[in-house]
Every structure is written in structure tokens, then in C-alpha cells.
């Protein structure tokens, strides 16, 4: 299945075919628009020549930082995110033989196991790990037992809560509207206290 998380076919193709690129896109998905975050791996590939864990982990940090800062920047916080991406890549090299996909394929894991593995990655807290697990299950064919339950609300069929639910421009708009409504409800609840 092809992913459609950005408005750039080349970026989507990289995300579809390179598990590390998808993991990096998820890492970058904070405090910037989803499409910008998931376009980041293509910028990294174009500027550094590769989206490979061993290559990125061993690249001089100043070189990575410069690549993140080039206009348009990979992220609004290029310094911290360049470091996070390199740390993530080093973890993939050290713990997953340089192959990000092993996180959800090694030893045919169930959903809770994949969630635990994702949460152990640098930059992946509970929510980000659940969203990524839902993305694996909803769009990439991950069938580990209990993945929907482990992903929590993000695993619900027919929901439009996160990047896991984006498969078209229309679904992107629905996810944005759901997020807007949730923020408005949270703000109203805080104001009522």
C-alpha cells in the first residue's frame, strides 16, 4: 500500500519504501504541520544523500545540522531535531541492526510488544508510539495481535485522529478538523474550571 501523508509524491514514495524514513517523519511530527514533518526525510535524503541509519548516525553532527538548517528547514527547531534524528539512527544501528523495520517484524511481535519497542526509541513517548503503531496497522498491513487495543483511540477503525488515518487530501482535512475540535473542547473545558 502506498502512503499519502504529504502533498509531494516523491516524499510519499520514500515514506512508503523506507521504514526509517517513516520513523523519522514520525519523530519530526511535533510543533509543525504533519505534511512538513513527513516531507523531512526527503529533504534529508536530498541534502545528505541517504536515509540510512548507519550513514546518518555516523555523519558529522555539524553536517547534519547544516542540512537541517538549509531553506526550507527540515524542522522549525533544526538543532534539536538534527540531534534527535542522529540519536534515533544510532539506536536503530545499535539495537535493530540498522533496520528500522525490525522493530515491528523481528520475532513476529504482537501489538503490545511493538508499542513497547517504539516507546523505547528516543523521541517516542506514549502518544507518538501509539500513533505510529496505528499507522503500521491501518496502512502498512501490520497484523500483530492486539495492535488496535495497544494503539488506544488511534487504533479505532474509521477514526480521523492522527496521521495514521491520512490516506488522501480529504482524510487529511478530516483529521485536521478532528484535531481542531478536540483542541476547542479542551480549551472550553479549561475555561469552565
CB count in 10 Å sphere of residue 54: 15
Q: Contact at 8 Å (CB) between 172 and 166?
A: yes
Residue-wise pLDDT tens digits, 4-35: 999 899 999 999 999 999 999 999 999 999 99
Q: Please write the tens of the pLDDT for every residue from 115-131.
A: 999 999 999 999 999 99
Alpha-carbon distance of 17 to 1, in angstroms, equals 10
By the 8 A CB rule, do 38 and 11 touch?
Answer: yes
What are the structural domains, with CATH classification, of the chain? 9-155 (1.10.340.30)
Task: Tell me how far CA of residue 73 lies from CA of 37, 68, 113, 160, 187, in angstroms.
Answer: 10, 6, 34, 28, 31
User: pTM above 0.85?
Assistant: yes
| Mean pLDDT across 79-94 | 98
- Quickly tell me which residue has 523495520 as its cell: 101
Amino acid at each position: 500500500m502506498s502512503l499519502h501523508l504529504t502533498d509531494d509524491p516523491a516524499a510519499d514514495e520514500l515514506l512508503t519504501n523506507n521504514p526509517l524514513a517513516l520513523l523519522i517523519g514520525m519523530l519530526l511530527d511535533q510543533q509543525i504541520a504533519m505534511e512538513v514533518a513527513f516531507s523531512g526525510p526527503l529533504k534529508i535524503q536530498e541534502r545528505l544523500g541517504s536515509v540510512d541509519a548507519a550513514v546518518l548516525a555516523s555523519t558529522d553532527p555539524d553536517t547534519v545540522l547544516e542540512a537541517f538548517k538549509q531553506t526550507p528547514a527540515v524542522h522549525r527547531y533544526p538543532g534539536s531535531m538534527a540531534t534527535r534524528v542522529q540519536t534515533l539512527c544510532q539506536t536503530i544501528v545499535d539495537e535493530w541492526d540498522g533496520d528500522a523495520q525490525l522493530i515491528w517484524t523481528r520475532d513476529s511481535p504482537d501489538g503490545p510488544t511493538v508499542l513497547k519497542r517504539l516507546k523505547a526509541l528516543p523521541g517516542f513517548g506514549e502518544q507518538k508510539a501509539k500513533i505510529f503503531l496505528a499507522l503500521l496497522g491501518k496502512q502498512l498491513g501490520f497484523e500483530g495481535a492486539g495492535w488496535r487495543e495497544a494503539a488506544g483511540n488511534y487504533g479505532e477503525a474509521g477514526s480521523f485522529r492522527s496521521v495514521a488515518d491520512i490516506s488522501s487530501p480529504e482524510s487529511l482535512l478530516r483529521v485536521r478538523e478532528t484535531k481542531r475540535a478536540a483542541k476547542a473542547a479542551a480549551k472550553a473545558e479549561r475555561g469552565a474550571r
